[in-house]
A = this chain, B = another copy of it.
Amino acid sequence: MDNKNENVSILGFAGSLRKDSYNKMLLTAAQELSPENVKIEIFDLEGIPLFNQDLESKPNDKIKIFKEKIKAADGLLIVTPEYNYSVPGVLKNAIDAASRPKSANPFEEKPTGIMGASIGMIGTARAQYHLRQTMVFLNSYIMNRPEIMVTFAEGKFDQAGRLTDEVTRQKVKEFIVALLQWIIKFK
């Protein structure tokens, strides 16, 4: 099929509020390394408040925009750090906030890829499998493979935050192409 050249829009977000987050850098690298027909828009989670169900009928503007962008995208790219052997509270909270109320879950049937970077040797594997379980409930279609778990991230990005490790750059390229095909499968 020729549809690898179809235009596809992806909303990407990284689960960290830290300025020099390796996960933000990894997301930027994915954006840069995407083929021409794939456009990754990056959404910053800063400004999404802690979720309180009492207020779920009056979400703030940031949440409203987040939900609309998720709904509008052809697919998602979630880049997760690992905190305390699981998904960071910041990322889980953003997903919780966007998922409510249940009747307006924007993740429904959304093809999604997951990656992550860490300074340790496990590279966010533990966080990624917890995140996959969350997305089962939300009925996103999470791509199984390839997986990207960037280990020892401190040696793979330069001072300016650019991904410099060639092996990882190649893997990110392949990941985005696989995600493109995964998204097209459900169109």
Binding site for B on A (CB under 8 A): 16-19, 21, 49-54, 83-97, 99, 121-123, 125-126, 129-130, 132-141, 144-145, 149, 151, 185-186
Contacts and interface: CB of A to CB of B under 8 A. Distances in A.
24 contacts: A17-B52, A18-B54, A49-B50, A50-B90, A51-B83, A52-B90, A84-B137, A84-B138, A85-B129, A85-B133, A85-B136, A85-B137, A86-B92, A88-B92, A89-B92, A89-B97, A93-B93, A122-B125, A122-B149, A129-B133, A130-B130, A136-B144, A139-B145, A140-B144
Contact of A94 (B89, B126, B137, B139): B89
Contacts of A149: 121-122
Given A50-B50, A121-B151, A126-B129, A89 B95 contact: yes
Contacts of A141: 144
A132 B131 CA distance: 13
A3 to B, nearest CB: 15
A88 B96 contact: yes
A153 to B, nearest CB: 14
A50 B123 CA distance: 23
B84 A95 contact: yes
A88 to B, nearest CB: 6
Nearest to A105: B84
B54 A83 contact: no
A96 B92 CA distance: 12
Nearest to A20: B54
